[in-house]
Every structure is written in C-alpha cells, then in structure tokens.
Amino acid sequence: MPKVSVIIPSYNCERYIAETISSVLDQSFKDIELIVVDDGSSDRTREIVSSFGAPVRLIAQANAGRCVARNRGIREASGEFICLLDHDDCWFPDKLARQLSEFQKHPEAGAVYSSFIFWHADSENRFPDPESFDLTAFPDTIDPGFSGWIYHQSLIDIYVLTSTAMFRAEVFQRCGNYDESLPYSEDWELLLRIAREYPFVQLRRPTTLYRQHRQQGSRVTREVDYRTMLLTRTVKKWGLCSRDGSCVTRRQFLNQLAVYHASFALDHLKNGKKKIAFISFIKAWLAAPFNLKYPAYIAAALLGWKPTW
C-alpha cells in the first residue's frame, strides 16, 4: 500500500500534462502511486501520459466531467493519504514531505493545505521555470488564522486550492466524494462538507504553482450563479458556525454574498446579458440594503453603462 495516492484528472491538456506529472515524480517523498484519469481527451494527452510508463497509471474513460474523473481516481486510490492535482498545475519538490510531517504533528487534522503562487505566462506565453521561484521568501510555518476549524471562514471565501491539499483517505469515506450533479463550485461544496467534520492545517510556504490561462474553468461566465446557490443552501443546512463555536455573523455572510451576486451581475452585464445582470444586482441589494453601490450599479446599467474591465 503506498503512503500517498496522487490523482490527476486530465482533459485535452497536451501542453501542460507532462510538466504536471513530472512535478509529482520529482517529489522528495517517493512512496506514492500516481493515477491519471483521462476524461475523454481528443488531443495527445493520453499518449503523453502513457509515455511515462510504469510510474503512472492511466485510466481512460469517456468524457463525463471533472467530478466523475476525480471520483474515479478516489475509488481507485489505495494510499493512506490522497492528493488531487489539476492537470495544468505543478508542485514544488518538497510538497508531500512537508505535508506528511504536519500530519504527524496534527493527527486530528483531515487535511493539510498551503498557500500557492499564481503562475503567469510572459509576453511570449512562456511560464517561468518552477526553480526560479524563491520559496525562502515565505515563512515555513503554519498560519493559525486559516488552520483549525475553518468551516465558518469557508462560508466567506474558498481558501483551499485543491491542488495544494493533502487529505486523509478516511475523509472521503466519512464525508463522501465530489457531488457529480454540480457543474461548478464542486470543490467548494466538498471542502465545506469536510470542514464540518475535520480541522485543517494551512502551511504559509507555497507548495504549488497555480497556472493561469484562458482555458481555466474558473474564467468561464456561467448562466447560473452556482456559488451563491451553494453558500445559501449550506448556511440554511448547517448554519454559520464551526464545531469549535467559531462563527461569522449573519451580516458578514450577507455582505459577502452581495459581493458575489454583484460580481456575477457585472460579468453578465459586460457580456450584454442585462436581464441576468439586473436580477443579480437586485439580489446583491437585498442582501446588503445599506450598501448604496448596488442601486448605483442598477441605475448605471439602466442608463446603458457597461463595465470594460
């Protein structure tokens, strides 16, 4: 039984997948199994994955979505710990070793995650070499502000980038896997479930390069605001407090909900979808009625204003 199972869901990622896989195989901690679940790629992704040979186990399936691919990998995994790495991100070489060390210090934790570095391409669309980043500029300590019982904080924002996290395998047995009915915000939904049951540990020093490019799912404007739907449903079900009694106030929650409604509205207004934008602006105003920015947005939109950023 390997100590750590690493799962990479892939889809049409021939440009980045080799570098992502290499960052796993180059880890200083070696007792791992690496599973790539390819979700019906039509480019050279499977060919590239296969070229790595025995160190990488390729599971090919018909296109069914990232949640299905991740869940397939979790079911196939045999490690005591599980990591989920997006097909275009990369790890620094000591990621697994540092996280396992923290699990030894914090046996109560369900997950150890870290900060990350946004990885931007230069003017020629080339990404800096991972070795060019100076990690010593970051303290090699735990951030107590984002460790422990973080469910209540996760109602305000998602602080856990999935590619940075290591989970105990038992977490998925107890809390379940990804909700395959969700087309978006599935990471956030699962993390809220886990944060209800387990404390987390956050490392200040980054373990992961989070690649930024136009094809990222987080950059797509959707017709439905899944983010605010998820948060509203979660608070209705579980409330505003973590297990240790730490809470966010209802006003804090509603103010942030208004921010998300307005962000969704601005994206749609920019794309000329005024009806969706107006409805979301009204929702933002109802959530935060004393914030005059939201009725101002409505008035400006009625006069034909459109955001340009």
Residue with tokens 């005591």: 80
CA 204, CA 215: separation in Å to the nearest integer? 28
Query: pLDDT at residue 219 above 60?
Result: no
Sheet containing strand 81-84, edge to edge, reads 56-61, 32-39, 4-10, 81-84, 166-168, 111-119, 200-211, 90-91
CA 61, CA 277: separation in Å to the nearest integer? 37
How high is the pLDDT of residue 309?
A: 66
Average pLDDT over residues 1-30: 96
User: What residues have CB less than 8 Å from 230, skipping those under 6 apart?
Assistant: 182, 185, 188, 189, 192
Instruction: Indicate the pLDDT class of residue 211, thresholds 50, 70 and 90.
Output: very high
Structural domains of the chain in order of their starting residue, each with its CATH number: 4-219 (3.90.550.10), 226-302 (1.25.40)
CA 226, CA 222: separation in Å to the nearest integer? 8
Instruction: Indicate the pLDDT class of residue 215, thresholds 50, 70 and 90.
Output: low
Extract the tokens encoding 18: 């080799």
303 forms beta bridges with none
Q: What is the pLDDT of residues 61-117, one digit of tens each?
A: 999 999 999 999 999 999 999 999 999 999 999 999 999 999 999 999 999 999 999
**DSSP annotation of 37:** E
